[in-house]
Structure 1
Amino acid sequence: MPDNKRPALLIIDMQTGLYDGPEKPYERERVLDIINQLIQRARHAGVPIFAARHTGPAGSPIEVGSPFWQLLPALEVDEVRDTLFNKSRPSCFLGTELAQQLAAAQVNDLVIVGMKTQYCIDTTCRVAVELGFSVLLPEDGHTCMDTPALSAAAIIEHHNATLAGAFVQRMKAADVGF
Structure 2
Amino acid sequence: MMTQTIRSIAGIAPVSQLNPAATALVLIDFQNEYYDGKLPIPDGLPAARNAARLVAWADRLGMPVFHVQHVGAATGALFAAGSHAGEIHPLLAPAPHHHIVAKDRVASFAGTDLHAQLQGLGINTLIVAGLMTHMCVSTAVREARSFGASSYKVVVAADASATRDISDWNGDVVAHAGLHRATLTALHDNFADVRNTGAILELPVSAN
Please, what TM-score do these two structures have when normalized by structure 2? 0.80
Q: How many residues align?
A: 177
**What is the match of residue 74 of structure 1?**
91
* Runs of 4+ with deviation above 4 angstroms: 2-5
> Please, which of 55, 64, 72 is the counterpart of residue 39 of structure 1?
55
Tell me how far apart the structure 2 counterparts of residues 62 and 147 of structure 1 sit (CA, whole Å): 19
Contact kept, 8 Å, 1:5 with 1:108, in 2: the verdict is no
CA deviations over 1:4-38 (Å, ceiling 9, x no partner): 97110000000112222244212222111100000
**What is the match of residue 143 of structure 1?**
162
Task: Report deviation, 1:76.
Answer: 4.3
Contact kept, 8 Å, 1:39 with 1:77, in 2: the verdict is no
Contact kept, 8 Å, 1:126 with 1:167, in 2: the verdict is yes
**What is the match of residue 152 of structure 1?**
176
Tell me how far apart the structure 2 counterparts of residues 161 and 93 of structure 1 sit (CA, whole Å): 22
Superposition CA RMSD, Å: 1.7
Change (3 A) 1:29 1:157: same
> Please, which of 148, 165, 168 is the counterpart of residue 192 of structure 2?
168
**What is the match of residue 22 of structure 2?**
6
Query: 3-state DSSP class of the match of 1:110?
Result: strand
The gaps in structure 2 that reach 5 residues or longer are 1-16, 168-172
> Please, which of 48, 58, 76 is the counterpart of residue 74 of structure 2?
58
Change (3 A) 1:69 1:22: closer
Change (3 A) 1:23 1:55: closer
Contact kept, 8 Å, 2:141 with 2:191, in 1: the verdict is yes
**What is the match of residue 29 of structure 1?**
45
Contact kept, 8 Å, 1:7 with 1:48, in 2: the verdict is yes
Tell me how far apart the structure 2 counterparts of residues 27 and 16 of structure 1 sit (CA, whole Å): 13
Tell me how far apart the structure 1 counterparts of residues 20 and 88 of structure 2 sit (CA, whole Å): 32
Tell me how far apart the structure 1 counterparts of residues 30 and 140 of structure 2 sit (CA, whole Å): 15
Query: 3-state DSSP class of the match of 2:159?
Result: coil
Amino acid at match of 1:106: G
Tell me how far apart the structure 2 counterparts of residues 98 and 73 of structure 1 sit (CA, whole Å): 23
Please, what TM-score do these two structures have when normalized by structure 1? 0.93
Contact kept, 8 Å, 1:35 with 1:141, in 2: the verdict is yes
Query: 3-state DSSP class of the match of 1:139?
Result: strand
Choose 25-34 or 8-17, whichever is displaced more: 25-34
